Amino acid sequence: MKILYAATDTIAVPLLSLLGEKGLVGAVFTAPDAPGKRGKTLIPTPVKVKALELGIPVFTPEHLKKEEREIVKSLSVDTLLSFCYGKIFGPKFLALFEHTFNVHPSPLPKYRGCAPIYAAIKNLDKETAITLQEIGLGIDEGRVFASLPLPLNGEETTNTLEEKVSGLVPEFVLDTLLKIDSITPKEQKGEASYTSFINKEDGKIDWTRSAEEIHAQIRACIPWPRSYCSLGEEKLLITGVYGSAFSPFSPSIEAPGTVVGIEKGKGLKIATGKGYLYVTRVLPPAKKEMDAQSYVNGNRSIIGTVLH
């Protein structure tokens, strides 16, 4: 087996490292270099950086058309493996390979699409999964070779769950590939659901919702787009919450959004539509991110304020 590894993001780097060290990767397809924050210097993808470190040939196609198919034909690869690549593979491209695989961090057919980790956290799921599937013509519709259940504790952020998935994927995928000839892929069963691209508006907090829902939203929006609310005319980012969304929340009596006080070890106590939420970290306008106690120390007037 010689793999064309198609991937882009940081989450896919450990799998590349393991497969590359095993000599299983013949080439890498990844996204083109993109402008940095200031827009002047082009930044390579994390996968490209790692592939070059490993001495693996790297290609950064804008599209997957005839020219790219000719490149694949020139490579000594027989297997396509994708993980957070960001492009759709057409039938002509897929026909170039003996085997095709896609790593998807969800219990398919649940959460097909681009944001399965965000969706699992935001929807208060108590379990998700890592799935190795065949690449189908539809989005994440291919048959399943293996799935690794992953319990959730209600404290994960998108960032920490991505790190966990990233660490578990390499051994899971390698173990499955080594015995792939003895595995019969199975059709996906159950009702399919799809995730879409996340935007900044997904971070807007509605304090009339329950504490557990807001807790999940804030965690799902870390590190991006980060949850926010209005403090008067200013925008306040909420970047940390206390405890687990699966623990009981004390009933609230104040108007939703009311900052009731500050509790040591827990943070800002805020009333929601159902229960009190404790905020541990904030990012005020034009300032650095800080813990809730530090924020209150410099802004005592926040107590009693109603956030919107």
According to the model, what pLDDT value does residue 36 have?
81
H or E stretch covering 119: helix 116-122
User: Which pLDDT tens digit goes with each residue over 209-219?
Assistant: 999 999 999 99
Structure tokens at 197: 């691209």
According to the model, what pLDDT value does residue 71 have?
96
Identify the CATH class of 3-195. alpha beta
**How many beta carbons lie within 10 A of that of residue 137, not counting itself?**
11
Radius of gyration (C-alpha) of the chain in whole angstroms = 22
Average pLDDT for 166-172: 98
For the chain, domain boundaries: 3-195, 201-302
User: Which pLDDT tens digit goes with each residue over 242-300?
Assistant: 999 999 999 999 999 999 999 999 999 999 999 999 999 999 988 999 999 999 999 99
pTM, entire model: 0.95
What's the CATH number of domain 201-302, 3.10.25.10, 3.30.470.20, 3.90.1280.20, 3.40.50.1370? 3.10.25.10
User: Which pLDDT tens digit goes with each residue over 176-189?
Assistant: 999 999 999 999 99
Query: Burial level of 114, CB count in 10 A (0-12/13-18/19+)?
Result: middle
